A and B are shown apart, each in its own frame.
Chain A
Amino acid sequence: SQQGEEDPQALSIQEGENATMNCSYKTSINNLQWYRQNSGRGLVHLILIRSNEREKHSGRLRVTLDTSKKSSSLLITASRAADTASYFCATAPGDGGTSYGKLTFGQGTILTVHP
């Protein structure tokens, strides 16, 4: 079963606009990660935010984490057509490291950026 819920399920914007995607999760986490997937191919890691961090930036990406609400958001600024992809949040459980190698993924947001 999927721990994360993402919204919106689909997002369509114009180039240059900002895109915001949200993710909620259910259990305690060690960290939360965001991945991108182009057309059913492999996932590409975007950014990792630890449970004791509230905000993180990487280039045009900004991620926030609110552990009290068990939620995270990914903001992509000045979107480009090349950003068109599916975006997934994934949580690494905060169970002391016993869930080896397991990330729990949300259902994903399909982002379409129109030129």
Chain B
Amino acid sequence: KAGVTQTPRYLIKTRGQQVTLSCSPISGHRSVSWYQQTPGQGLQFLFEYFSETQRNKGNFPGRFSGRQFSNSRSEMNVSTLELGDSALYLCASSIQGYGETQYFGPGTRLLVL
């Protein structure tokens, strides 16, 4: 099976702009989780989607949002970008999202100038 894919791989934006990142899970996986990784805060959970519904959300401001489509592909959006949003954004898929193994994509590296 093909692994988790994320697009784009690299992105440079300026403060105030918005960005949309995309994630395609492994075929048959219905749960998609998103994480933000920074040197200071490490890996932090953003949110999880299953069957087009957000079931769980981390402690991030409302500028961070996401959605999931009927084919389980997911997008996350960050509006009004801030310098602190510069990070590696990782998505991970799993079959049901009940604490089982997660399979990660290569990540999208976002730089906000």
Contacts and interface: CB of A to CB of B under 8 A. Distances in A.
A93 B88 contact: no
B63 interface: no
A35 B42 CA distance: 14
- Please tell me the size bucket of the interface on A: 20 to 34
B102 A103 contact: yes
A45 B103 contact: yes
Interface stretch (A17-25, A54-62, A69-77, A104-112): A104-112
Contacts of A68: none
A90 B98 CA distance: 14
A45 B94 CA distance: 12
Contacts of A107: 42
A43 B107 CA distance: 9
A102 B45 contact: yes
A52 to B, nearest CB: 14
B76 to A, nearest CB: 13
A93 B99 CA distance: 7
A30 interface: yes
A33 B56 CA distance: 20
